Structure 1
């Protein structure tokens, strides 16, 4: 079954969510297909028929998480909009997606932790995610920042600036390091605005460039 087709079947999505929860709670190494089948209320044979073995379940979890993250990146970057407004809108959506319930009610940042851990222990399962993140996340942002640089709003930029922006709003300090509940929408907006302003401070034109 194609990866995109997996997400069109509610029963399969429910299975993937249970797999994600089991992997998070017990670790990938300790989890078994039997554990996941039992949590999903189905037989082991059904799991193999619908998705496959434990490695295939992990691949499906990563693919579904990738789909979730890329939806958060689907902001149409308007090259005419000022950087602070455009990037704040993007950051609000991205940070909100990190807290959104994903697998059996778990906030998505817990799935992000699993993805990071798998990136170290099983880097091959992250290859599709990295490719999609670069194509659908980083590249559109690179083009937008270049447009704002060409317009004279920002200093000359490169790919590292786009990657830095994602790292800045990925909530590596709060969401990935600590268990916490989702803040209010107002707090998310303020957090996004603060981080965008700190990012833009580093991308600002120098006084000499402004004068020239």
Structure 2
């Protein structure tokens, strides 16, 4: 029973997200709304400050330039999506099923996200660098974090004993590829196709020996 309980808690976010003060949250909310409405190229730091109801200098003190602000918005949205996924997994008794469901939710949720959908359709040349080469620390953290969670589930006998960090990187690369290149047999707009892919290819990969 103890082993089963350990396995059931194998998929958790682990570690608290750094708290935001109210002013920082207002800036990020304003930036997100402006990016969705006007895009990255047409949004200025002044626009964000005005929308947040504060001075431009205040925004610059929190975020040195627009590049830092965009990265902060993306990071916060990723954190919030992880929290939503974790909430959706509450009550699932099978860690393997939870990992497969998390993959499906990550792919379909990212595809539907209003900021990502808007920018991939209208400004792919501006958003793609932020989702690839400009967020190495986020990618590294995500890989190490997922590997840690995979290792916990492996110790509980709930997942494959393949190298945890390699599994984590594979899952991240799959999510990234499906979201950034959505046209294909496996479509992030079609939850059923993502779920079939997860069941057909990821379940055998992640199943315990």
Distance 1:166 1:49, change over 3 A: closer
Confirm whether residue 191 of structure 1 aligns to residue 194 of structure 2. yes
- Structure number with the bigger relative contact order (C-alpha 8 A, sep ≥ 6) is 2
Deviations 1:168-198 (A, max 9, x none): 3x1624x31258x974xxx414522422321
> Which structure 2 residue ranges, 5 or more long, are not aligned?
1-16
TM normalised by structure 1 equals 0.59
Distance 1:50 1:82 in 2: 39
Q: Which has the larger radius of gyration?
A: 1
Tell me what 1:81 maps to: 94
CA-based RMSD of the aligned residues comes to 4.5
Confirm whether residue 134 of structure 1 aligns to residue 143 of structure 2. yes
Distance 1:7 1:161 in 2: 37
Distance 1:192 1:8 in 2: 40
> Which structure 1 residue ranges, 5 or more long, are not aligned?
none
Deviations 1:131-163 (A, max 9, x none): 54135433213432x257x46x74x31121232
| Matching of residues 1-212 of structure 1 within 5 Å | 4-6=19-21, 11-18=26-33, 20-21=35-36, 25-26=40-41, 32-34=44-46, 36-37=48-49, 44-48=56-60, 51-72=63-84, 74=86, 75=89, 81=94, 83=96, 85-103=97-115, 107=117, 110=120, 117-118=129-130, 122=134, 126-127=136-137, 129-144=138-153, 146-147=154-155, 150=157, 154=160, 156-159=161-164, 160-168=166-174, 170=175, 172-173=177-178, 175-178=179-182, 183=189, 187-202=190-205
| Alpha-carbon contact 2:46-2:56 (below 8 Å) kept | yes
SS at match of 2:19: helix
> How many pairs align?
184
Distance 1:61 1:157, change over 3 A: same
SS at match of 1:4: coil
